[in-house]
């Protein structure tokens, strides 16, 4: 196959690709695909394993030049990066860059994800971030920065840390330290992609950076403001993607239906997407009738939860057809929580039946939580303290809701589940992120009061949780 023929997302692998006259490679495995534009994968070339970046389409030449320039900048400034073995561009066909493949390398993001969640940054977590910040400091000291800076672009192999993805590497003045504004902006991008709890250790972490690049004093407030700005931008950008066809989601939106599915799960979910009602009828019904039907279904041994939002009658349809369905609302809020690092079952797909854009029955598919809800889990502790780790996890959940100004809207105990060492929120139909602190404070006060009503007010458990759960000034009774 020639470069110019690369158009599809799915390619028949292994695949022999002609680069130029007399030159070719055998693509073995794809790592990242942007259909008709960029294909990154592991390949065989001249008897060795390489990382191949293949650039095609109308923007191929621009992307090729950017990748080549970034790789040359990294190597030219003495940073540890995989050697560029070969490159080329054929007008009308496309370009290629072949790098030495780092066998057995692990991204720092993969390392980070193996660390157990904790109320504060662990020593192991600080070591990972310190390693990354030291390398980022070296880049900045040499006048370079990576526009899309994250832990996945730092690979560790046999104790050495490599910078990859030259396409995002830019220079101010190569060989001279970056200006303070550029440093703050780039560190803002880095920290904004980490859990918000990391910011409590920001001063300690910056020591690792300053040991590698002490050119500027870095005001903590300025950095925190930049992190907050980037977080807001990233969330807005992510929420735009949840309804369109992209690398993360497969979307079909039209006058007679909406279907958005997480791309990685699309193939496995196809039987369910084709006939959700039949799958619900064959599954285990948790709730039926009325406004919603909830069922646990299994596909190839994988348990899933399907929630069908029913239309009860014509009057009910008249209230619902003109606005986003509750399935879509839950899909959006579930993805919001996932992006913010607040635990909730992974949203997998959303479906809406439509007729000339008028909405009808809708469906939401998520992962199934097999854990216990908080009422069942805390039942033995009505008059004795529950496990401290679980109370701490509950404090973190409520603190995250306060930090992000999110109200649940129906915080009864059956909607809070213990799973994989943390508390997860389910049933997000009424969830809302508030623009104003005043509206959030009122909603949070109602959420907190509803949550505490799961237990008798004179019980030791009620009193403990009332003492430990965060309050918002002016909405909760003052603690005595």
Give DSSP secondary structure letters for 418-432.
EETTEEEE---TT-E
Would you give the distance in Å from CA 157 to the centre of its chain?
A: 25
Which range has highest mean pLDDT (163-172, 251-260, 310-319)?
163-172
Q: How far apart are the C-alpha atoms of 462 and 35, rounded to whole Å?
A: 54
- Is pLDDT larger for residue 467 or for residue 10? 467
Q: 173: which DSSP letter?
A: S
Task: Tell which residue, 321, 322, 338, 286, has the closest CA to residue 307.
Answer: 286
- The pTM (predicted TM-score) of the whole model is 0.85
All domains in the chain, ordered by first residue: 3-100 (3.30.200.20), 106-238 (1.10.510), 249-367 (3.30.200.20), 372-468 (1.10.510)
| Cis peptide bond upstream of 373, omega within 30 | no
pLDDT at 80 over 70: yes
**What is the pLDDT confidence band of residue 311, given thresholds at 50, 70 and 90?**
confident
Range 330-338 average pLDDT: 97
Helix (H) or strand (E) holding 89, with range, is strand 84-90
**Contact present, 147 and 67 (Cβ < 8 Å):** no
Q: Of the ranges 43-47, 79-83, 120-124, 475-479, which one carries the lowest mean pLDDT score?
A: 475-479
Q: How far apart are the C-alpha atoms of 380 and 373, rounded to whole Å?
A: 13
The pLDDT of residue 478 = 45
Residues whose CB falls within 8 Å of the CB of residue 291, separated by 6 or more in sequence, listed in order: 309, 310, 312, 316
Q: What is the pLDDT of residues 436-448, one digit of tens each?
A: 999 999 999 999 9
Residues whose CB falls within 8 Å of the CB of residue 78, separated by 6 or more in sequence, listed in order: 142
pLDDT at 332 over 70: yes
Which range has highest mean pLDDT (117-126, 309-318, 350-359)?
350-359
**What is the pLDDT confidence band of residue 318, given thresholds at 50, 70 and 90?**
low
The total number of residues written for the chain in this structure = 480
Range 400-425 average pLDDT: 94
The pLDDT of residue 460 = 95
Q: How far apart are the C-alpha atoms of 80 and 270, rounded to whole Å?
A: 44
Q: What is the pLDDT of residues 187-224, one digit of tens each?
A: 999 999 998 889 889 999 999 999 999 999 899 999 99
The pLDDT of residue 94 = 93
Distances (CA, A) of 303 to 140, 141, 264, 279, 300: 47, 50, 16, 12, 9
pLDDT at 20 over 90: no
Task: Tell which residue, 32, 33, 29, 35, has the closest CA to residue 15.
Answer: 29
The pLDDT of residue 120 = 61
Phi, psi of 144, rounded to the nearest 5 degrees: -115, 155
Q: How far apart are the C-alpha atoms of 35 and 57, rounded to whole Å?
A: 9
Q: What is the pLDDT of residues 372-409, one digit of tens each?
A: 999 999 999 999 999 999 999 999 999 999 999 999 99
């Amino acid at each position: 196959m020639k470069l110019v023929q690369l158009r599809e997302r799915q390619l028949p692998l292994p695949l022999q690709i002609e680069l130029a006259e007399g030159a070719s490679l055998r693509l073995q495995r794809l790592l990242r695909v942007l259909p008709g534009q960029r294909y990154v994968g592991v390949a065989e070339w001249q008897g060795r394993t390489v990382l191949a970046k293949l650039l095609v389409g109308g923007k191929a030449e621009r992307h090729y030049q950017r990748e080549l320039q970034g790789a040359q900048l990294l190597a030219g400034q003495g940073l540890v990066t995989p050697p560029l073995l070969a490159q080329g561009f054929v007008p009308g066909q496309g370009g290629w860059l072949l790098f030495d493949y780092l066998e057995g390398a692990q991204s720092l993001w993969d390392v980070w994800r193996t660390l157990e969640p904790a109320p504060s940054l662990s020593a192991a977590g600080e070591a990972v971030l310190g390693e990354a910040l030291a390398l980022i400091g070296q880049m900045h000291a040499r006048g370079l920065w990576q526009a899309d800076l994250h832990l996945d672009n730092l690979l560790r192999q046999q104790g050495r840390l490599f910078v990859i993805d030259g396409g995002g590497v830019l220079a101010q003045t190569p060989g001279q330290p970056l200006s303070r504004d550029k440093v703050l902006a780039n560190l803002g991008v880095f920290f904004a992609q980490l859990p918000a709890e990391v910011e409590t250790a920001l001063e300690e972490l910056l020591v690792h950076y300053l040991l590698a690049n002490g050119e500027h004093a870095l005001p903590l407030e300025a950095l925190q403001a930049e992190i907050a700005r980037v977080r807001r931008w990233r969330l807005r950008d992510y929420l735009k993607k949840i309804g369109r066809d992209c690398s993360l989601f497969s979307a079909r939106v039209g006058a007679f239906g909406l279907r958005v599915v997480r791309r990685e799960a699309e193939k496995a979910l196809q039987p369910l997407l084709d006939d959700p009602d039949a799958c619900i009828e064959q599954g285990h019904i948790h709730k039926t009738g009325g406004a919603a039907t909830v069922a646990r279904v299994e596909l190839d041994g994988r348990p899933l939860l399907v929630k069908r939002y029913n239309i009860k009658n014509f009057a009910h349809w008249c209230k619902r057809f003109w606005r986003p369905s509750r399935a879509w609302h839950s899909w959006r809020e579930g993805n919001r929580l996932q992006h913010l690092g607040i635990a909730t079952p992974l949203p997998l797909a959303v479906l809406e039946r439509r007729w000339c854009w008028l909405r009808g029955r809708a469906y939401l598919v998520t992962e199934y939580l097999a854990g216990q809800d908080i009422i069942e889990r805390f039942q033995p502790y009505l008059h004795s303290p529950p496990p401290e780790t679980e109370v701490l996890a509950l404090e973190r959940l409520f603190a995250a809701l306060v930090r992000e100004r999110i109200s649940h809207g129906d915080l009864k105990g059956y909607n809070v589940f213990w799973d994989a060492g943390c508390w997860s929120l389910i049933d997000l139909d009424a969830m809302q992120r508030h623009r104003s602190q005043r509206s959030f404070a009122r909603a949070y006060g109602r959420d907190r009061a509803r949550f505490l009503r799961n237990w008798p007010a004179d019980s030791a458990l009620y009193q403990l949780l009332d003492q430990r759960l965060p309050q918002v000034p002016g909405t909760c009774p003052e603690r005595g």
